[in-house]
Chain A
Amino acid sequence: MLAELRQFFAERSVLEVETPLLSHTIGTDPQLEFFTTEYCLSPQRQTLFLQTSPEFAMKRLLAAGSGCIYQIGKAFRNGESGRFHNPEFTMLEWYRVGFTLPQLMDEITELFAGLFREQSLQETQRVGYQDVFVSYTGLDPLIFSYQDYCVFAGESQIPEAVDICGHDHALWLDFIFSHKVQPHLGENALCMVYGYPVCQSSLARINQDNAQIADRVELFINGVELGNGYYELTDAKEQSRRFDRELAIRQQQKLPVTVKDQRLIAALESGLPECSGVAIGLDRLLVLLSGSAALDEVLSFPIRRA
């Protein structure tokens, strides 16, 4: 699989890069828990972070004029362990300068067609987040109606959602999407869901024609989330604002505090080229390619035996 991936990018003149796993700062996303470690260079001690993804470092390369790049490397997410989660995993991440999101989706389709040629997948599906959400739940994900969401929870055997989610729109979307939508996505096919609600925009740009959605895409096969891509946010000020918002949430929820990655913001200020990028979990990809039932089956030593 790795050889094939490298071949794919070599043919397209995308440069393989390597960025540090240890960094002086980390993403502010309140949903990602990180590992920290102590860097001892006597007499100083400094806390370093193990990367939850190589995104910031790769964007700094892009801003420095690297052109199209990809990386296959480890990423770390604390507290994630389960059938499809391991706190240390392998990620493929690539950026295409000058690509819009639909162009990147074309390339993803080509990549998967090659990888899954023996599994004879059905034709790739592209669906809007709002459309797919409405079709499985009858709820509009872009407009939060507490009443309607509660009624749906009661009728769909997930009444506990009311207590868990309260008036948090993004949390409701996470709950309902992961329980009632995602399991149906990509039955023996690659399913790309695009146009996420703005409250789940993460590092994606807001759509030019519709301010309610972000140019973000997620990939699913047989209900398993495989990857996440963006038409990348290049606006340093907007990026800085999103960091601030996430830091405020971290403080509110009493999560470990991080600092903004000023080097990323500086890189955006100096100019990130228009580009789209996507990250794919390779361990999960291997699970699907090998017809395994869980991550443990494709990892040499999952965390409890590492």
Chain B
Amino acid sequence: MATYSTNEFKAGLKVMLDNDPCAIIENEFVKPGKGQAFSRVKIRNLKTGRVIERTFKSGESIEGADVVDAEMQYLYNDGQFWHFMVPDTFEQYQTDQKVVGDAGKWLKDQDSCTVTLWNDSPLAISPPNFVDLAITETDPGVRGDTSGGGGKPATLETGAVVRVPLFVQIGEVIKVDTRTGEYVSRVKE
């Protein structure tokens, strides 16, 4: 893998830090007029999601991380592992709940999602920003309510629970924003 000098640091660059793959968020050049130059970097550990600050001496190099994003199809969950496939090559990847994390509650069989691979093994899963999912359980709506004031909880086919307007019924398909976990609209079949 290539190494990168502090001069090449920029937002988005994937590097290895303390043996973990990380993404640079921000790089600030720090140099006293009559002193040593440093790079003060804000960096996200891609395994833990934690953001830390780290300083490098200007000109220092660190190893790049082999991290790529791939569009994949979610196949199924066998109870222990989640399985994904690259649609073009049919290549399959499996990973556990720890990596899938919260993304799991938005994934329906056959849906596509982004799998971040580090050294060719899944590091993180990101669902699409919007998903269409059917409601499997919710209280009956109140007659006459068209837009909804408070709303009510609804359980979706993947197990996720979101707040929906009162008029939405079991069996209907809704669009949800996965970044906020909020209901967006009903989807016409």
Question: Which residues of A pack against B, CB within 8 Å?
Answer: 29, 31, 79-85, 157-158, 160-161, 164, 170-171, 173-175, 177-179, 182, 200, 202, 218, 225, 228, 281
Contact = CB atoms under 8 A, between A and B. Distances in A.
Contacts of B30: 82, 178-179
Contacts of A173: 35
A35 to B, nearest CB: 16
A76 B152 CA distance: 65
Nearest to B39: A82
The listed residue with most A CB atoms (<10 A of its CB), out of B36, B37, B58, is B36
B56 to A, nearest CB: 8
15 contacts: A31-B34, A31-B36, A82-B28, A82-B30, A83-B28, A85-B31, A158-B55, A170-B35, A174-B35, A174-B38, A178-B30, A178-B35, A179-B30, A200-B34, A202-B34
A262 to B, nearest CB: 23
Interface in B7-52: 7, 28-38, 40
A164 B37 CA distance: 12
Interface residues of B, number: 19
- 3 closest pairs, A vs B, by CB? A82-B29, A174-B35, A174-B36
A84 B40 CA distance: 13
A174 B55 CA distance: 12
Interface of B: 7, 28-38, 40, 53-58
Contacts of B40: 179
B55 A85 contact: no
A81 B29 contact: yes
A178 B34 contact: no
Contact of A80 (B37, B53, B55): B37
Contacts of B35: 31, 170, 173-174, 177-178, 200
A281 B32 CA distance: 12
